[in-house]
Chains A and B, each alone.
Chain A
Amino acid sequence: MADKPELPLDPAGKRGVLAYLAVAAVVLLLMMLFGLAMRLAQSEWLGLEAVYFYQVMTAHGIGMVAIAALGTAAILWYFLARRVRLSTGILYANLALFLVGVVLVLAGIFIGGFAGAWTFLYPLPAKPMGIWPQWAAASYLLGVLIVGVGFLLFYLDCARAILGRYGSLGRALGWPQLFGGDASEPPPPVVIASTVVTFINLLSILAGAVILTLSLINVYVPGFTVDALLAKNLIYFFGHVFINSTIYMGVIAVYEILPRASGRPWKVSRPFLAGWSATLLMVLAVYPHHLLMDFVNPTWMHVLGQVLSYTSSLPVIAVTAVGTLANVHRSGLRWNLASGLLFLSVLGWATGVVPAVIDATIVVNKVMHNTMWVPGHFHTYLLLGVVAMILGFMAWLDEAAARGDSALDRAAFWVFAVGGFGFTALFLLSGRDSVPRRWAVHLPEWLPYDRVAACFAAAVVLAMLVFALRFLIGLKRMAAA
């Protein structure tokens, strides 16, 4: 059966994956506490001055994006290493660079006071009105750049290994089977997803490195300027593709783990191949939906942004959602924490796409852009999608180390699911009522939403505490298994 992993997992590689996940467990918990702090501050239940609110917002944004990438990279590596020969050294190098970058980012934010938001929109890092010194912005930008370099190495290694095994991009994506009538077994889902992510993220990281470097120079040499519109295009190309890729890495856990639980292999059909290849191209051109309110951007880009927003995310989510439902439907599967979280993650992803696509409609964007509607949709597929994938993978590794689910696990699952959907629903409701995003201080009209949201957020944090502790306590056993 082509579904069987072909290569053994070397113990050092497994320890590396566990190290990624241990970092993810701790950082996720910490960043969620930051998120809760922001919701409490907006509720006026916590006296967090604006200057600290925006620092926390910056840390939460970049921290969550980075940890979503690290956690899902662990998923990719764990399963891809069974198919192609990945370098364990690079796995560790990426983690080391990640930690160095994090130290610089945190120093820039909490010692230096940098609060330019995770998107460091040019030229804000260099023009804070004296709120933070140059070195703080530089430390932040350099830190993000170093994290980027780590991931660049990581994906270069993936590219090398995939091409070494499959020969070309087309073969790794199953094009001979898709177009050529080749009747042989196509590559397994993990290879297809990894190939797509590797390709698009190499491009996104390069764009990110360019704008980070330009911004760094601008911080110290104000006379060296960049066109603000070009800078914004680069930042959102980088940001959109990079965060999107976390879903495409995380979903590998769904493809690999649910079939083991249901006893039915994940079938790589031609629509599956077509969906992923279509996404590969479209996801690179969809980012202009972040610039729909920049009227001076070319109109064809606006139209492309809307049309591709509708069409680009759907092929993969459709094949994945239908595939997931068909995979578990009447399969005799017994739910446990791992399969439950992974099933939930597909639901979270699918539901998050709905408000996202609606907001990418130009006429809607005109009255919803940069309102709470935006964190509403992305928290749905990041918290209930990506984070659920990472947590599901963690739980599965723990199970693999022979551990049953307890009543506490089940409670944590439901608190996470209900708290998560409640929390994101309130963002969406606030967005419907035009509450702007990224406001440290809210008008009295908006407080009721903030307060209910804070309660749901607290529930999510509690559930995360259980998941994180469960994983950290089980680490030794997992490493030994």
Chain B
Amino acid sequence: MIHSLAWQVTVPLVLAFFAVFAWVALGAGDKADATAISQTSGRIRSWIFWVLVAVFLPIFGYTLRDLPYSVAAVAGGPPQVIKAIGHQWRWELSGTEVQVGKPVDFHITASDVNHGFGLYDPDLKLIAQAQAMPGYTNVLRHVFTRPGKYRVLCLEYCGLVHHGMLAEITASEAK
């Protein structure tokens, strides 16, 4: 899952920073020629630059291919559609039953202030989201991959009962 991947990438990089800084901190008391160090650091700096270029370009290529912003027509009939309206402080959903394997388009908006439509799976992992903004409709397409009880949590602070804005959606196997 992307969540764990984000963590697994962060931790080693952060530890690498710790290691380098600790190494330099511990050796700071010795004395060596500043010019030589300055030259080496210049080389390291340009090396870092090219490594970053080499890493970023494929990351962009890979991650920017498939963005959540536009939904194409679906093969095999129209998608299921659920209209989701955020109100202070409840979700109004036009349906709460979905079928596994068939795309669902959530048409998300708000009636009063900004809310955030956060879709949580049965293990309470956030699997998709879009903002619910007054005056706009964001269309979020999601394909449920396993049956169970999903929850919608509010992910944009909307006032006193923000943390109380939960709703349920049930996904079941197609009959």
Is the CB–CB distance between B161 and A326 below 8 Å? no
Is the CB–CB distance between A330 and B20 below 8 Å? no
- Complex Cα spacing A351 to B15, Å: 9
- Complex Cα spacing A350 to B21, Å: 11
Is the CB–CB distance between A351 and B17 below 8 Å? yes
Is the CB–CB distance between A335 and B28 below 8 Å? yes
Q: What chain B residues lie within 8 Å of A373 (beta carbons)? A: 6
- A12 close to B (CB within 8 Å): no
- Complex Cα spacing A75 to B126, Å: 41
The B-contacting residues of A in range 369-426, CB under 8 angstroms, are 369-371, 373
- Complex Cα spacing A306 to B64, Å: 9
Q: What chain A residues lie within 8 Å of B113 (beta carbons)? A: 121, 123-124, 127
Is the CB–CB distance between A228 and B136 below 8 Å? yes
Is the CB–CB distance between B69 and A295 below 8 Å? yes
- Complex Cα spacing A310 to B78, Å: 38
Q: What chain B residues lie within 8 Å of A124 (beta carbons)? A: 113-114, 157-159
Range, interface on chain B: 35 or more
Q: What chain B residues lie within 8 Å of A328 (beta carbons)? A: 24-25, 28
Interface centre among A291, A307, A369 (most CB of B within 10 A): A369
Q: What chain A residues lie within 8 Å of B131 (beta carbons)? A: 291, 293-295
Is the CB–CB distance between A335 and B25 below 8 Å? yes
**Chain A residue with the shortest CB-CB distance to B120:** A434
- Complex Cα spacing A127 to B55, Å: 46
- A46 close to B (CB within 8 Å): no
Shortest A461–chain B CB gap in Å is 23
- Complex Cα spacing A371 to B3, Å: 11
Q: Tell me whether chain A's interface is mostly helix, strand or loop, or mixed.
A: helix
Q: What chain B residues lie within 8 Å of A123 (beta carbons)? A: 112-113, 134
Among the 9-residue stretches A145-153, A200-208, A359-367, the one with 4 or more Cβ atoms under 8 Å from chain B is A359-367
Per-residue interface assignment for chain B, residues 109 to 136, with 1 indicating a CB less than 8 Å from any chain A CB and 0 otherwise: 0001110101010001111111101111
The B-contacting residues of A in range 94-124, CB under 8 angstroms, are 115-117, 121, 123-124
**Chain A residue with the shortest CB-CB distance to B155:** A370
Out of B1, B64, B68, name the residue touching A366 (CB < 8 Å): B68
- Complex Cα spacing A264 to B32, Å: 12
Shortest A81–chain B CB gap in Å is 28
Among the 9-residue stretches A84-92, A175-183, A435-443, A464-472, the one with 4 or more Cβ atoms under 8 Å from chain B is A435-443
With A295-B138, A329-B37 given, is the CB distance from A318 to B155 under 8 Å?
no
Is the CB–CB distance between B159 and A128 below 8 Å? yes
Range, interface on chain A: 35 or more
With A303-B64, A358-B10, A439-B162 given, is the CB distance from A367 to B127 under 8 Å?
yes
Out of B9, B37, B126, B161, name the residue touching A358 (CB < 8 Å): B9
With A318-B45, A330-B28, A332-B31 given, is the CB distance from A363 to B126 under 8 Å?
no
- A2 close to B (CB within 8 Å): no
Interface centre among B17, B66, B126, B130 (most CB of A within 10 A): B126
With A331-B28, A362-B63, A370-B118 given, is the CB distance from A441 to B2 under 8 Å?
no
The A-contacting residues of B in range 136-174, CB under 8 angstroms, are 136-140, 153-164
- A319 close to B (CB within 8 Å): yes
Q: What chain B residues lie within 8 Å of A334 (beta carbons)? A: 29
**Chain B residue with the shortest CB-CB distance to A347:** B21
Is the CB–CB distance between B116 and A293 below 8 Å? yes
Per-residue interface assignment for chain A, residues 269 to 307, with 1 indicating a CB less than 8 Å from any chain B CB and 0 otherwise: 101000000000000000000010111100100110011
Is the CB–CB distance between A436 and B41 below 8 Å? no
The B-contacting residues of A in range 305-350, CB under 8 angstroms, are 306-307, 310-311, 314, 318-319, 322-323, 325-326, 328-335, 343, 346-347, 350
Q: What chain A residues lie within 8 Å of B25 (beta carbons)? A: 328, 335, 343
Q: What chain B residues lie within 8 Å of A232 (beta carbons)? A: 114, 133
With A117-B157, A229-B136, A295-B138 given, is the CB distance from A367 to B3 under 8 Å?
yes
With A115-B159, A121-B156, A438-B157 given, is the CB distance from A318 to B48 under 8 Å?
yes
Out of A267, A343, A347, A368, name the residue touching B6 (CB < 8 Å): A368
**Chain A residue with the shortest CB-CB distance to B127:** A367
- B13 close to A (CB within 8 Å): yes
Interface centre among B7, B63, B135 (most CB of A within 10 A): B7
Q: What chain A residues lie within 8 Å of B13 (beta carbons)? A: 351, 354
Shortest A478–chain B CB gap in Å is 26
Shortest A34–chain B CB gap in Å is 16
Out of A295, A306, A347, A432, name the residue touching B130 (CB < 8 Å): A295
Q: What chain A residues lie within 8 Å of B124 (beta carbons)? A: 433-434, 443, 445
Q: What chain A residues lie within 8 Å of B27 (beta carbons)? A: 329-330
Out of A227, A318, A347, A354, name the residue touching B49 (CB < 8 Å): A318
- A79 close to B (CB within 8 Å): no
- Complex Cα spacing A326 to B37, Å: 6
Q: What chain B residues lie within 8 Å of A269 (beta carbons)? A: 42
Shortest B128–chain A CB gap in Å is 6
Task: Provide 25 A-B residue pairs closer than 8 Å at the C-beta atoms, listed in order of the A residue.
Answer: A50-B160, A121-B157, A128-B159, A296-B133, A296-B136, A302-B69, A314-B52, A318-B48, A318-B52, A326-B37, A329-B24, A331-B34, A332-B31, A347-B18, A354-B9, A358-B6, A361-B63, A362-B67, A366-B128, A370-B116, A428-B10, A432-B3, A436-B126, A436-B153, A445-B124
Q: Nearest 8 CB-CB pairs, A to B?
A: A326-B41, A330-B32, A434-B126, A295-B138, A439-B163, A332-B31, A370-B155, A432-B7
Q: B-side interface residues toward A, CB under 8 Å?
A: 1-4, 6-7, 9-10, 13-14, 17-18, 20-21, 24-25, 27-32, 34, 37-38, 40-42, 44-46, 48-49, 52, 56, 59-60, 63-64, 66-70, 88-89, 112-114, 116, 118, 120, 124-131, 133-140, 153-164
Additional pairs, 13, CB under 8 Å, beyond known A294-B138, A367-B128, A370-B129: A128-B160, A271-B49, A294-B133, A311-B56, A322-B41, A347-B17, A351-B14, A362-B63, A363-B68, A366-B68, A366-B129, A368-B2, A439-B162
